[in-house]
Structure 1
């Protein structure tokens, strides 16, 4: 549509100003200038040449503009001189960032002056002055948010003096999903680029409510040192991308990668996207922005869940039971039994009850009854206010270990020695270096391990597509379920003492409990479906359990686990394992593992290994 309108405008004889004659050498230099490449989101093609990340022909003015930066520049320069009467449809109105750059580079003083009323009103409403990079922490219950997320907040000039952050706009890039795809289809299409990705500007208060309340995610705000001119340049380019489609890929061309492109538009000369040729994990991109010297301040906003747990932490079990009763029925505030509780403890209890009520309302929807309960509790809090809530700030996510892991190990399985070589694309397991990650969370994708036995016998030990575990402790106030899911190829005991490479899909659900500040105990019921050449059926199901302890100690993380699978064909497979990781540095760990496997098909086997893990993007 843009190309058609501009062609019609240019065809009106006698009304168009002629574009200046620019030497071909100068045009070629501009066409391959890094900033023009960034404005059009070009990358070098796999077989040479150029291709744009933009997957929408409406973005380009030249028919072959997607692959030819020089053709797109020539078409743009010509369109800028179209008659001014086309108003908002004029190229200068549709491409303000291109217009600004070409005007500066070519000293274009004779451009027509169309009335860009729509863009002018939009830009005035946003009034960009500065920017903040927002990182909502990882949320395991959403496939698209398991690795965290990034977005930008665009602030006005009076943000600090008037404390108007909630009136700012959030700039977000995300997958546009029509219909109700199930989780498996969603994950598959997200991995394969099956969804279009779009930029959106929405009020920041809406995103804040979504992440802190509905998804119970901590927020990190990284104040960027962009100047007003740099912030304006970035927002102008966002206008050019309005309703323009990109293919969305979870692991590389995602929310974080697209925002890095915008920062390269804001500040020419930044080289951020080239650091992420394969994957763009949000924490890695935050680290890249920080390492580039763009961050001048960091603020932390805890989720409602974290605030509730912090307020409930000093309460005894009896006091937490009071909080539960008050959240359900605030009339207990006036009971003689509650009035006998010391006033300072009453203040803590009723504040915990109020926060629990708000937490429940956010999760289940607010109705008149919940609003009345909240109001009754709030009135009591005003009469007897608690001390200010202090929430301990967790470790900065970008200071945790990097996401890709190289692994080198040695060990023995019964009487056979082996060396093991591994690569994990992303990103954290239960025993990895803990700083910046919650205890009990595991997200592993695309992990490969090759084993070399004595006699130069090589075998594929395992290939994990995904291995996710969420071990969130239960308490008096909150009762979350723990769960796990894994899929891929792995070695198991087989007939005649051999190991079989099997295909599996398994999952489990259960509970986790905090045995101390640094120790979790968990127990899950599990199900498994397996394709095994030793089994008669193509797929054989099993039911079982997985239980154990996770302890963060002085040198690292220790896990002790017991698991069993009871197959419908009579096979019983059990396992005991112990793992201790020493945290040598942020990006280096040493792990000692011991395991004993049992099977109806073979004698028990013991395995001990020592593995060096290097976390490196």
Structure 2
């Protein structure tokens, strides 16, 4: 035993020396396996490290890994080689002479057998129209097997270990911003993730097939296994769902560098742009959400029958009554029953109906629909690919005329999208702007025009199937109050929106406050129109009437005409009219501006 111990110690020292000669502790791949950024691992779970100083010392973790692999104490699923198969495989590749003890990894082998990893797809569920936590979208990975049906594949996901539907929205946002939750990795059947995002959360799904080889896919899966049950702090803007998927992709192919595209924020759609920039996307596919499908049925159903799906799922009429109604055309009967099934499934996903009632009604609706035979296939037009949308950061330069004076403008926005930007590839009626700064220059003077901390808009168009509320909020400095100064303001408003192929309209009620020489409040009412039928241009108009607590009233009117020059370039012309009341002197302010926007 003493001889064996001395032999293993000598072997360990020999391989550590070779590792030093190859500078493995500073190698890119070792840092990828440890998730090291700026010398510190971003994994916050001590169980992930074999060395007490492994989080901050990559070399000590490498030495501890070599020691543990050569000196296995157990040879089952708890063996080091079973817990860290990616580390073991990499060291065997780099230190070719190293001979590791044989171990039996039953659980790991079962996972590999179940996944049968052959290739990888990057999945992007688009924004959720009425959820602030999901308006940036989401990304996760799908591990594809040899099965033709991708529904039988598995999804790798990372998310905050919290339920935003059961927590106060403000508290959820604050904790998400400052690492108040642990992030959790999960491996689930892909069809479960589809039900969650596409059906329950009404989010269209985009799938981007990657050109990773089978060997690279296996390398990624090995690393995913190493993070099983580990925890790290979740940060909404940085170490989030998308960021952790980038580590996995780099573990599969270390020659790519996806994280270099990000500094202080990682937006899910931007990670798709990064993958495209690294030339690893080969194919795009689209899966419409339950909401998109129901809206299509709403177009196809004759207006006389639009209420029948609701009557069917409320059991106020029977499916057989639809089948036997001679006044209803055959194809309309099929649409009625098909849309009823879709609406029933949607309500069940929202827990609006019990499982027993759902199964019974689903059975009767399906039998009735089957009795009518084949019908026309529902064709849903594929929307603009988010891959072709503009990127998040916007730089702006412009010039214009205000009150007869020539003015120059400079601006920078850190994220993400506004209603005035081209909505090509974005969800219609949504806006998230974070840290938007706009400066003006006139007569040798620089002024602050706008400093938006956060602005969110969700104009969810109402329909017969979906009677959504619209809402918007903004906090920051602007020049829309009674005087012409840049005052701090905040508002949270609600309203309604309606739309068609040409565009959409909305009405909003916006209580607000602002601070100049004191605290003032107001209530505003707005009506707006957005024409967005054409991909190369859009027009936005809004008229607002505000009533202030000081007894004054104010009219605001704005028009923005935008032209999409290319994916990341836009020309925009704005006209603004504002009623002012400076020191009891009423006046009208008009401005005309022309901007060039560049997105990166």
* TM, length-normalised to structure 2: 0.92
How far apart, in 2, do the equivalents of 1:85 and 1:327 lie?
Answer: 58
Aligned to 1:6: none
CA contact (8 A) 1:443 1:469 kept: yes
State whether structure 2 residue 204 is matched by structure 1 residue 205: no
Aligned to 1:177: 162
Aligned to 2:202: 216
CA contact (8 A) 1:16 1:83 kept: no
Bigger CA drift: 564-573 or 30-39?
564-573
How far apart, in 2, do the equivalents of 1:103 and 1:130 lie?
Answer: 24
**Where does 1:324-335 land on structure 2 (aligned, <5 Å)?**
324-328=310-314, 329-331=316-318, 334=321
Aligned to 1:607: 591
The Cα of 1:524 is off from its aligned counterpart by 1.5
Q: What's the CA shift string for 1:163-186, capped at 9, x where partnerless? A: 3x3332210011123895421122
CA contact (8 A) 2:491 2:512 kept: yes
How far apart, in 2, do the equivalents of 1:351 and 1:382 lie?
Answer: 10
DSSP-derived class of the 1:339 partner? coil
Q: What's the CA shift string for 1:284-342, capped at 9, x where partnerless? A: 21122233232233221110111111122133322323444344333275279943122
CA contact (8 A) 1:138 1:145 kept: yes
Aligned to 1:548: 528
How far apart, in 1, do the equivalents of 2:504 and 2:207 lie?
Answer: 30
The Cα of 1:362 is off from its aligned counterpart by 2.2
How far apart, in 2, do the equivalents of 1:213 and 1:583 lie?
Answer: 32
2:330 to 336, 343, 349: 343
How far apart, in 2, do the equivalents of 1:322 and 1:258 lie?
Answer: 46
How far apart, in 2, do the equivalents of 1:393 and 1:335 lie?
Answer: 31
Q: What's the CA shift string for 1:172-216, capped at 9, x where partnerless? A: 011123895421122122222222222211222221110011101
DSSP-derived class of the 2:51 partner? coil
Residues 379 and 307 of structure 1: CA distance in aligned 2, closer, same or farther (over 3 Å): same
How far apart, in 2, do the equivalents of 1:527 and 1:333 lie?
Answer: 50
CA contact (8 A) 1:84 1:115 kept: no
How far apart, in 1, do the equivalents of 2:113 and 2:383 lie?
Answer: 38
Aligned to 1:241: 227
Residues 335 and 287 of structure 1: CA distance in aligned 2, closer, same or farther (over 3 Å): closer
CA contact (8 A) 2:319 2:365 kept: no
CA contact (8 A) 2:502 2:532 kept: yes
Aligned to 1:47: none
1:311 to 291, 297, 312: 297
Bigger CA drift: 571-580 or 213-222?
571-580
**Where does 1:146-295 land on structure 2 (aligned, <5 Å)?**
146-156=135-145, 158-160=146-148, 163=149, 165-177=150-162, 180-295=166-281
DSSP-derived class of the 2:233 partner? strand
CA contact (8 A) 2:323 2:333 kept: no
Residues 376 and 269 of structure 1: CA distance in aligned 2, closer, same or farther (over 3 Å): same
The Cα of 1:57 is off from its aligned counterpart by 2.7
DSSP-derived class of the 1:144 partner? helix
Aligned to 1:575: 556
Residues 492 and 552 of structure 1: CA distance in aligned 2, closer, same or farther (over 3 Å): closer
**Where does 1:115-514 land on structure 2 (aligned, <5 Å)?**
115-156=104-145, 158-160=146-148, 163=149, 165-177=150-162, 180-328=166-314, 329-331=316-318, 334=321, 338-367=325-354, 368-384=356-372, 385-454=374-443, 456-494=444-482, 499-514=484-499
The Cα of 1:98 is off from its aligned counterpart by 0.6
How far apart, in 2, do the equivalents of 1:96 and 1:332 lie?
Answer: 55
Q: What's the CA shift string for 1:384-411, capped at 9, x where partnerless? A: 2431111111111111111111011112
- Across the two proteins, how many residue pairs are aligned to each other? 590
Residues 123 and 445 of structure 1: CA distance in aligned 2, closer, same or farther (over 3 Å): same
Residues 137 and 121 of structure 1: CA distance in aligned 2, closer, same or farther (over 3 Å): same
DSSP-derived class of the 2:129 partner? coil
**Where does 1:86-101 land on structure 2 (aligned, <5 Å)?**
87-101=76-90
Aligned to 1:5: none
State whether structure 2 residue 517 is matched by structure 1 residue 528: no
Aligned to 1:79: 68
How far apart, in 2, do the equivalents of 1:607 and 1:57 lie?
Answer: 59
DSSP-derived class of the 1:459 partner? strand
The Cα of 1:87 is off from its aligned counterpart by 3.4
**Tell me, which stretches of 5 or more residues in structure 1 are unaligned?**
1-8, 45-49
DSSP-derived class of the 1:123 partner? helix
Q: What's the CA shift string for 1:481-528, capped at 9, x where partnerless? A: 11111111222345xxx52332222122221112x4122111122211
CA contact (8 A) 1:327 1:353 kept: yes
Residues 89 and 590 of structure 1: CA distance in aligned 2, closer, same or farther (over 3 Å): same
How far apart, in 1, do the equivalents of 2:370 and 2:101 lie?
Answer: 62
What is the RMSD of the two structures over their aligned residues, measured on CA atoms? 2.6
How far apart, in 2, do the equivalents of 1:210 and 1:92 lie?
Answer: 35
How far apart, in 1, do the equivalents of 2:19 and 2:127 lie?
Answer: 49
CA contact (8 A) 1:152 1:170 kept: yes
Q: What's the CA shift string for 1:403-457, capped at 9, x where partnerless? A: 1110111122213332111111111111212221233222211111112222x21
CA contact (8 A) 2:19 2:95 kept: no
State whether structure 2 residue 14 is matched by structure 1 residue 21: yes
The Cα of 1:16 is off from its aligned counterpart by 5.0
Q: What's the CA shift string for 1:581-614, capped at 9, x where partnerless? A: 1111121111111111124554221121111111
DSSP-derived class of the 1:201 partner? strand
Residues 361 and 93 of structure 1: CA distance in aligned 2, closer, same or farther (over 3 Å): closer
DSSP-derived class of the 1:463 partner? strand
The Cα of 1:550 is off from its aligned counterpart by 0.6
How far apart, in 1, do the equivalents of 2:462 and 2:543 lie?
Answer: 21
